[in-house]
């Protein structure tokens, strides 16, 4: 028997496999036993009703998909009155993902959402372009990340997970800022900004022009970020980006992730979410691991490669980038 349980701060998960925000709904109970998941992560909710972005909102890529959904939501009232009770029919902890345009509203939303007894964790989506003024993205700047996280931290004693953006120039600095402001865990990460053009129509393939890329193509980039961030922070890091099979889960954990979230693959093959849990137990058993948590950060660092990596130039500089909402 392999112990698949992991701890994300004070939150105990029976296994490290969770759906990513925006990729999951309780309708999936038709094709899987939702109670087997490590946690349930809801679609991002904001205060007001949002209609979302113009269609088409998604397009296929060779390496995954590009989306700009625009965070459609019926708003916080509907979420608390209808969606949370729907999730509460299932046993895994519920992670509510919140978005806001200002630090004030993030704080107020946190108070309201965290007050619901069936919400176990607040995931802070600062990695979509909701910031007012400017439609920017809080997770592109250390100071914005710090300020928002600090306000959220002050508004609840429930665990706060901050979801970072791979579009930040220096994702490590952003992760450190979130930790210093009191985050309990980091989710690395949201989608990578991209553009697909339809060469028959000469128009962007999706209605909002730019979109966020997810799926297998982004995996090595996010694995690298998970590794870099987890080396610098003490809080747990949750890996998210392009996970399609059990080997990807293992790779993220070796890089430093304590748990993972799956998005793209749910659209391709929803039931794989649960199949991967069994495959993870099998993978550990075959290799003699009694606890999956032993994999976290177990990548062996070659000292020579480390010396070269330390001398390399920093990857990008923090600059403002417009990132479409997922």
Ligand X SMILES: Cc1cc2nc3c(=O)[nH]c(=O)nc-3n(C[C@H](O)[C@H](O)[C@H](O)COP(=O)(O)O)c2cc1C
Active site members: 128
Cβ atoms of residues 115 and 149 within 8 Å: no
**Which helix (DSSP H) or strand (DSSP E) does residue 64 occupy?**
strand 64-67
Does 28 bind ligand X (CB under 6 A)? Our answer is no
CB within 8 Å of 113: residues ≥ 6 apart: 45, 76, 79, 80, 96, 98, 119, 122
Minimum Å gap between C-beta 91 and ligand X is 22
Question: Residue 41 to residues 45, 62, 127, 151, 315: CA-CA distances in angstroms?
Answer: 11, 27, 16, 22, 30
Indicate whether 238 belongs to the interface with ligand X (CB under 6 A).
no
Selected range binding ligand X among 30-38, 79-87, 88-96, 236-244, rule: CB under 6 A: 236-244
* Site residues (CB under 6 A) for ligand X, limited to 244-263: 262-263
Q: Are 37 and 26 in contact (CB under 8 A)?
A: no
Q: How far is the CB of 307 from ligand X (least distance, A)?
A: 32
Nearer to ligand X, 37 or 71 (CB): 71
Site residues (CB under 6 A) for ligand X, limited to 199-218: 214-215, 218
Contacts of 183 (CB under 8 A, 6+ apart): 124, 149, 153, 160, 161, 162, 235
# residues contacting ligand X (CB under 6 A): 27
Q: Does 101 bind ligand X (CB under 6 A)?
A: no
In the complex, the smallest distance separating the C-beta of residue 242 from ligand X, rounded to whole angstroms, is 4
Nearer to ligand X, 2 or 114 (CB): 114
Question: CB within 8 A of 258, min separation 6: which ones?
Answer: 6, 7, 8, 16, 185, 236, 237, 238, 293, 296
Q: Site for ligand X (CB under 6 A): which residue of 15, 46, 53, 67? A: 67
CA distance 162 to 155: 14
DSSP 8-class letter at 71 = -
Could you say which of 16, 92, 236, 241 contacts ligand X (CB under 6 A)?
Answer: 241
Burial (CB count <10 Å: 0-12, 13-18, 19+), residue 103: middle
Minimum CB distance to ligand X smaller for 23 or for 295: 23
Which residue of 11, 14, 17, 44 would you call a contact of ligand X, by CB under 6 A? 44
Residue selected from 146, 163, 228, 272 as contacting ligand X according to rule CB under 6 A: 163
Distances in whole angstroms, Cα of residue 214 to Cα of each of 170, 193, 223, 263, 297: 20, 9, 13, 8, 23
157 vs 130, 152, 298, 307, CA distance in Å?
25, 10, 31, 40
Say how many C-beta atoms besides its own lie within 10 A of residue 289's C-beta: 18
Window contacting ligand X (CB under 6 A); options: 64-72, 133-141, 276-284, 295-303: 64-72
Helix (H, G, I), strand (E, B) or coil at 134: coil
Check residue 46 for interaction with ligand X (CB under 6 A).
no
Shortest distance in whole angstroms from residue 21 CB to ligand X: 4
Indicate whether 22 belongs to the interface with ligand X (CB under 6 A).
yes
- Give whichever of 212 and 289 is closer to ligand X, judged by the CB atom: 212
Interface residue with ligand X among 16, 17, 18, 21 (CB under 6 A) is 21
From 46, 137, 145, 190, residue interacting with ligand X (rule: CB under 6 A): 190
- 276 near ligand X (CB under 6 A): no
Give dist(CA 86, CA 118) in Å, integer: 10
DSSP one-letter code for 181? T
Interface with ligand X includes 20 (CB under 6 A)? yes
Nearer to ligand X, 97 or 272 (CB): 97
Among 268, 302, 188, smallest CA distance to 235 is for 188
**Which residue in the set 53, 110, 167, 191 belongs to the binding site for ligand X (CB under 6 A)?**
191
Contact positions vs ligand X (CB under 6 A):
20-23, 43-44, 58, 65, 67, 69, 71, 97, 125, 163, 190-191, 214-215, 218, 240-243, 262-264, 326
């Amino acid at each position: 028997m392999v112990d698949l349980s992991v701890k994300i701060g004070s939150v105990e998960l029976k296994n490290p496999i969770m759906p990513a925000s925006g990729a999951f709904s309780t309708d999936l109970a038709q094709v899987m036993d939702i109670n087997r998941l490590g946690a349930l992560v809801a679609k991002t909710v904001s205060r007001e009703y949002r209609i979302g972005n113009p269609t088409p909102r998604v397009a296929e890529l060779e390496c995954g998909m590009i989306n700009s959904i625009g965070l459609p939501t019926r708003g916080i009232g509907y979420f608390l009155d209808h969606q949370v009770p729907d999730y509460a029919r299932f046993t895994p902890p519920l992670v509510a993902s919140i978005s806001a345009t200002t630090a004030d509203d993030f704080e107020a939303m946190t108070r309201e959402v965290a007050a619901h007894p069936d919400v176990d964790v607040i995931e802070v989506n600062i990695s979509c372009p909701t910031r007012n003024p400017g439609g920017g993205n809080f997770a592109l700047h250390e100071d914005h990340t710090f300020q928002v996280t600090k306000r959220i931290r002050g508004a609840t004693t429930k665990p706060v997970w901050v979801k970072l953006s791979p579009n930040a120039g220096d994702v490590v600095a952003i992760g450190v800022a979130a930790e210093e402001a009191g985050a309990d865990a980091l989710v690395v990460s949201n989608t990578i900004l991209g553009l697909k053009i339809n060469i028959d129509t000469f128009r962007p393939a999706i209605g909002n022009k730019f979109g966020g890329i997810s799926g297998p193509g982004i995996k090595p980039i996010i694995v690298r970020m998970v590794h870099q961030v987890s080396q610098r922070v003490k809080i747990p890091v949750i890996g998210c980006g392009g996970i399609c099979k059990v080997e990807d889960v293992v790779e993220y954990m070796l890089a430093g992730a304590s748990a993972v979230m799956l998005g793209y693959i749910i659209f391709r093959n929803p039931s794989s979410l649960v199949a991967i849990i069994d495959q993870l137990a099998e993978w550990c058993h075959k290799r003699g691991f009694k606890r999956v948590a032993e994999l976290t950060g177990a990548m062996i660092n070659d000292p020579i490669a480390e010396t070269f990596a330390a001398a390399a130039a920093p990857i990008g500089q923090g600059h403002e980038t417009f990132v479409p909402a997922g």
